[in-house]
Amino acid sequence: MEVETLEQTISFVREKLNNAEAGHDWFHVERVWKNAKLILEREIADREVVELTALLHDIADSKFHDGDEEIGPRIASDFLLSIGVSAEKVTHIQKIIKNMSFKASLGKVSFHSKEMEIVQDADRLDAIGAIGIARAFHFGGYKNNPLFDPQVIPRLNQTKEEYKKNTGTTINHFYEKLLLLKDKMNTITAKAIAEKRHSYMEGFLSQFYEEWDGHK
Ligand code: ADP
Ligand code: NI
């Protein structure tokens, strides 16, 4: 891959995400990109597609664009074509961005590739562990959701529509998504990292309940 392609993409993303909220800002993208590069060390895949997708995967989240799920993939592909990336790769990248999210995975996903597995793992790793906890409470605060309510039961096996509408507690989000991610990892590298991050979240939850009950 040409250094220029990467550099132009980085500046485009940094600029676009300048005012993004903390859960989906440039630093999230940078962490996902780093995770993707780590996973790539042990996988055979198209490096250019993986790195460019990692950088562009959250260029416009539908959550912040009235639910428009086409806008992100469209902005990404218009940009990539404008800097001369091949149409074939652009189509692949666009398909990954459309299908890789947790939300999309709750619906029907008809597309699959090694490159998608890698970027999906890289993004999912950033939703768990210490960073995952920070992002979840940040998101909950943004939505004004309660931290926890013992009366509100987690809703497992939600459909894509239910997941999007959910206004439950942030602690429930751990049961509805974060604790499920470890078993959804595609690559061995991500599986190993996810195990550790998963245990860290379990430790956090048990400490949380002890403190909630005034036991610690
Ligand atoms: P995706 O973009 O993969 O579909 P989401 O947009 O659901 O994933 O999640 C993006 C980030 O926001 C993640 O870190 C996730 O944990 C957090 N998040 C999403 N929904 C909630 C929620 N209801 N409560 C707390 N955090 C949430
Ligand atoms: Ni992301």
Q: Give the pLDDT score at 216.
A: 81
Ligand 1 pocket residue status of 113, Cβ below 6 Å: no
Nearest atom, ligand 1, residue 101 CA: 3
What is the CA(211)–ligand 2 centre distance, in A? 31
Nearest atom, ligand 1, residue 136 CA: 26
- Higher-pLDDT residue of 115, 70: 115
Nearest atom, ligand 1, residue 103 CA: 4
Write the pLDDT tens digit of every residue in 123-168. Answer: 999 999 999 999 999 999 999 999 999 999 888 877 877 777 777 9
pTM > 0.85: yes
Q: Going by C-beta distance under 8 Å and a sequence separation of 6 or more, which residues neighbour residue 105?
A: 99, 184
Ligand 1 pocket residue status of 103, Cβ below 6 Å: yes
What is the CA(143)–ligand 1 centre distance, in A? 11
Q: Encoding tokens for residue 144?
A: 């004004």
Q: 207: pLDDT confidence band, cut at 50, 70 and 90?
A: very high
Cα–Cα distance measured from residue 176 to residue 204, given in angstroms and rounded to the nearest whole number? 16
Mutational test site, ligand 1, from 177, 182, 184, 197, max ligand atoms within 8 Å of CB: 177
Q: Work out the angle at residue 19's Cα, subtended by the Cα atoms of residues 13 and 21, and round it to the nearest 5 degrees.
A: 100
